[in-house]
A and B are shown apart, each in its own frame.
Chain A
Amino acid sequence: MRKLKDLILLGLLWFAAFLTVAVLVTIVGFIFYKGIGLISFDFIFGDYSPSGGGGIWPMVVTTIYTIVISLLIATPIGILAAVYLQEYAKQGRMVRIIRFATESLTGIPSIIYGLFGAVFFVTTLKLGMSIIAASLTLTIIILPVIIRTTEESLKTVPQSYREGSLALGTTKLQTLYKVILPSAMPGILSGIILSMGRIIGESAAIFLTAGTVAAMPESIFSSARTLTVHSYLVTQEAGDIELAAAIGIILIAIILILNFSATWISKKLNKADY
């Protein structure tokens, strides 16, 4: 009887795992099946042509711009904020309110951020529809993610490390810099990877702040179109599923490359400490 129960449970676990993998494989498989025919050197690195048949290079560049700029702004601010909340702030009402606020921010639909960005960055700050306006909007979107994950990973650093370091006559800053942050690095990095996913997946907020200009951006103050927005537009306007799927493949490739490089950097950082 117990054996049977065991078997049923095992079956359920196996089925759940299978279902998860199957969904993933189906989606990725579908995208590859539809889009792989369009992938070529010219498609990736060619300039866009409005009459069709052109490449997507301007969108790839725009996507990379938005990722890099948003992360450059959000990562230091997010990590510093999390360090303050977790290591320095007196754990009281104020901190609870800030925590509640950051948690709530993660749940807000991105179109709301997009509207805010359109009003504040684009109009009030007169940045216009531009990569920088979109990046700043994205910064606000990913900031809570980075703060939360950094805080969580700081929490997992054993208290004994802090005590051990401080008992050796080190300052709080030395302890933070030499012991706590290196130990929390993997968690912080996973927060950054999550944020990259959020940026790449974002369409509504970017659509409203960077616009849809399908050309190579001259600078970060130009209006431009990211891959995700492009993918949305070609599906919506032209109904070109194959082109959208091909863009999907490129997006998956970019995510994989970024994830692997993040993991590689984290390994390098850890090695340096041993």
Chain B
Amino acid sequence: MYTTILEPKMVKDEKSTVTETPETKTKIHVENLNLFYGEKQALFDVSIDIKEKEVTALIGPSGCGKSTFLRTLNRMNDLIEGVKISGKIIIDDENIYESNDVIKLRTKVGMVFQKPNLFPMSIYDNVAYGPRMQGIKNKAILNEIVENSLRGAAIWDEVQDRLKSSALGLSGGQQQRVCIARAIAMKPDVILMDEPTSALDPISTLKIEELIAAMKKDYTIVIVTHNMQQAARVSDKTAFFLNGEIIEFDETSKIFSMPSDQRTEDYVTGRFG
């Protein structure tokens, strides 16, 4: 089980320190986040403001904590025994580690995993799974959610005449897009993607990248990627992680053209990692 070490500060006080420009509102405010796996510290004082309806890429070498960080945003680390977290993560004025409503958090913050993890059910049932578990039973409403979600994930045309057949019969790239549709079906605000294309071929990867670009207008997207070209192609902002710390966080164009930290430059130019 996790335990949170919380500072007794009011959420409202923090809001004033968040810089807000008219176009981009801060969606996720992270402050001094530390995470321990038992005795081993995996994240060190991570602070970052993730803007609404932007794509934020998290890059860095293996084991740098970027996936761990991503999984704190919908509290998936709660599933791991011995994880301890301190600091704050505020999504829409609410400290997600102070509230006990993990269910509500996860309906608001959806997730797409590294490998497609559709359930052994039909395509339809996979997409309808989340809404059904929320208690939606009306067939017409479910049909509409399923269709809209599959359209939203740019996979409707490919699967519309085989909705009732097993989702596991689809190709890896198609499965991953159905996974995205399944996340969209919950009508989330934020979608977390944990290396969503690492198990896919180049053409499927391209389709997912196009999809991410199109989804940006409706969702705040945080994507972990090993592929620096991908980060450069899809993201607005990029955070460079190293040994559990954020070394640099800036506009993607700046990170890749003139990073201010030598370590970032070494990484993006391929000198290590």
- Interface positions of A (Cβ within 8 A of B): 90-91, 158, 160-171, 174, 178-179, 182-183, 273-274
Of all chain B residues, which has the CB nearest A160?
A: B117
B→A interface (CB under 8 Å): 74, 76, 79, 81, 103-107, 110-111, 113, 115, 117-122, 125, 129-130, 133-134, 164-166, 179, 182-183, 186
- The distance from the CB of A255 to the nearest CB of chain B, in whole angstroms, is 29
Q: Within 8 Å CB of A183, what residues of B?
A: 119-120
Is A168 within 8 A of B182, CB to CB?
yes
Contact of B79 with A170 in the complex, beta carbons under 8 Å = no
Are A273 and B113 in touch, CB under 8 angstroms? no
List the B side residues contacting A165 at CB < 8 Å: 119, 129
Q: Is there an interface contact between A163 and B119, defined as CB atoms closer than 8 Å?
A: no
When the two chains form their complex, are residues B117 and A166 in contact, meaning their CB atoms are under 8 A apart?
no
Q: Which residues of B contact A179 (CB under 8 A)?
A: 119
The answer to whether B117 and A161 touch across the interface, beta carbons within 8 angstroms, is yes
Select one of B79, B122, B133 contacting A163, CB under 8 A. Answer: B79
Pick from B120, B125, B130: contact of A168, CB under 8 Å = B130
In the complex, are the beta carbons of B76 and A163 less than 8 A apart? yes
Q: How far is the CB of A136 from chain B (nearest CB, A)?
A: 37
Note all chain B residues with C-beta closer than 8 A to A162: 79
Question: In the assembly, what is the distance between CA of A222 and CA of B218, in Å?
Answer: 70
CB distance from A89 to the nearest CB of B (A): 11
In the complex, what distance in Å separates the CA atom of A162 from the CA atom of B76?
Answer: 11
A166 → B minimal CB distance (Å): 7
Report the separation of the CA atoms of residues A90 and B111 in the bound assembly, to the nearest whole angstrom. 26
Measured between C-beta atoms, what is the minimum distance from A266 to chain B in Å?
A: 13
Interface of A is mostly: helix
Chain B's closest residue to A273 (CB) is B121
Shortest A235–chain B CB gap in Å is 48
Contact yes or no, A169 B120, CB < 8 A: no
Q: How far is the CA of A167 from the CA of B107 in the complex (A)?
A: 8
Rounded to whole angstroms, the CA-CA distance of A207 and B130 in the bound complex is: 53
- Chain A residues, CB < 8 A from B76: 163, 166-167
| Shortest CB distance A268–B (Å) | 15
Query: Known: A91-B81, A169-B134. Contact between A163 and B120, CB under 8 A?
Result: no
A178 to chain B, nearest CB (A): 7
Inter-chain CA distance A168–B182, complex, in Å, is 8
* A90 to B82 CA separation, bound complex (whole angstroms): 11
Question: Please, which residue of chain B has its CB at the minimum distance from the CB of A182?
Answer: B120
Which single residue of chain A is at the shortest CB-CB distance from B182? Answer: A168
Q: Chain A residue with minimal CB distance to B126? A: A164
Is A274 touching B79 in the complex (CB atoms < 8 A)? Answer: no
Q: Judging by beta carbons under 8 Å apart, are B107 and A169 in contact?
A: yes
In chain A, what residue has the closest Cβ to B121? A273
Q: What are 16 A-B residue pairs whose CB atoms fall within 8 Å in the complex?
A: A91-B81, A163-B117, A164-B179, A166-B79, A167-B76, A167-B113, A168-B106, A168-B107, A168-B129, A168-B130, A168-B133, A169-B130, A183-B120, A273-B120, A274-B165, A274-B166
What residues of chain B lie closer than 8 Å to A178, measured between beta carbons?
129, 133
A164 near B106: Cβ-Cβ < 8 Å: no
Asked if A273 and B125 make an inter-chain contact with CB atoms under 8 angstroms apart, the answer reads yes
9 more A-B contacts (CB under 8 A) besides A162-B79, A169-B130, A170-B133?
A160-B115, A163-B113, A165-B119, A169-B107, A174-B133, A178-B129, A273-B125, A274-B121, A274-B166
Which of B104, B133, B165 has most chain A Cβ within 10 Å?
A: B133
CB-CB < 8 A to A160: which residues of B? 113, 115, 117
- 5 residue pairs, one from A and one from B, having the closest CB atoms: A169-B107, A160-B117, A168-B130, A169-B106, A164-B117
A166 near B106 (CB under 8 angstroms)? yes
Chain B residue at minimal CB-CB distance from A175: B133
Beta-carbon contact of B130 and A170 below 8 Å: yes
Contact in complex: B122, A274 (CB < 8 Å)? yes
Q: Are A167 and B125 in contact (CB under 8 A)?
A: no
Q: Give A63 to B176 CA distance when docked, in angstroms.
A: 51
Contact A168 B186, CB 8 Å, known A163-B117, A183-B120, A274-B122: yes
Across-interface contacts of A174 in B (CB, < 8 A): 133
* Bound CA–CA A170/B104 (angstroms): 9
Q: Which residue of chain B has its CB nearest to the CB of A274?
A: B122
**Chain B residue nearest in CB terms to A168:** B130
How distant is B175 from chain A, measured CB to nearest CB, in Å?
11
CB-defined contacts of A158 to chain B, threshold 8 Å: 117
Alpha-carbon distance A162/B183, docked complex (angstroms): 15
What are the residues of chain B within 8 A of A273 when measuring CB–CB?
Answer: 120-121, 125
**Given the known A-B contacts A169-B130, A178-B133, A273-B120, are A164 and B113 also in contact in the complex, defined by CB atoms under 8 Å?**
yes
CB distance from A167 to the nearest CB of B (A): 4
Q: How far apart are the CA atoms of A178 and B126 in the complex, in Å?
A: 11
CB-CB nearest in chain A for B192: A167
Min CB–CB distance A157 → chain B (angstroms): 10
CB-based contact A167/B106 at 8 Å: yes
Closest Cβ neighbor of B122 among chain A residues = A274
Complex: chain B residue closest to A177, CB-CB: B133
